[in-house]
A = this chain, B = another copy of it.
Amino acid sequence: MFDGMRRLAEKTEGVAEPGELRRALDEAGLRLTRQRAAVFDYLRSVESHPSAEEVYAAVRRDIPHISLATVYKALEALVESHLAAKLAYADGPARYDCRCDAHYHIRCLKTGQVRDLPTAFDAELLDKLDPTLIDSLRQQGFQVTDYRLELLGHFAD
């Protein structure tokens, strides 16, 4: 185990509070705008991990003249403020996840759909794989700070 990962595991909050948005943007030296708030609110409200296009389509209901470029910039601002994460896959557009605590994903190989797993993040999982792993990597000059686990499969027909 190691401190960075323990800190990740101890975070209790998943989706950030609304007031959190202002604080987080501030901390990153960014301004709170109507567009960013709308993008954040939408991302916070959905279970799925939408693409920029999907966010654009949804946010347009509130701000009809918002541009796709602004949505991209807003998503980037959220990532920079550590309120969201960008998930990339081999095919199709990137997807955005606004849960900022450590957690796992399942991904459907047929549809590309990504969902969160309710399973609690296990900071000891790498030790269960091999108790000497983290130390031996450190000795080889690689400092492990985090890990990602993703389950692949498909939804039943």
Interface residues of A, Cβ cutoff 8 Å to B: 86-91, 94, 106, 108-109, 117, 119, 122, 125-126, 128-130, 133, 137-138, 141-156
A117 CA / B148 CA spacing, docked (Å): 14
A109 CA / B148 CA spacing, docked (Å): 13
Tell whether, in the assembled complex, residue B149 and residue A153 are in contact, meaning their CB atoms are under 8 Å apart: no
A149 CA / B133 CA spacing, docked (Å): 14
Tell whether, in the assembled complex, residue A156 and residue B141 are in contact, meaning their CB atoms are under 8 Å apart: yes
Tell whether, in the assembled complex, residue B130 and residue A156 are in contact, meaning their CB atoms are under 8 Å apart: no
| 25 chain-A/chain-B pairs, Cβ below 8 angstroms | A86-B90, A88-B88, A88-B90, A88-B91, A108-B142, A117-B133, A125-B128, A125-B129, A126-B151, A128-B128, A128-B129, A137-B153, A138-B156, A142-B153, A142-B154, A143-B153, A143-B154, A143-B156, A144-B152, A145-B152, A145-B154, A147-B149, A148-B152, A149-B149, A149-B150
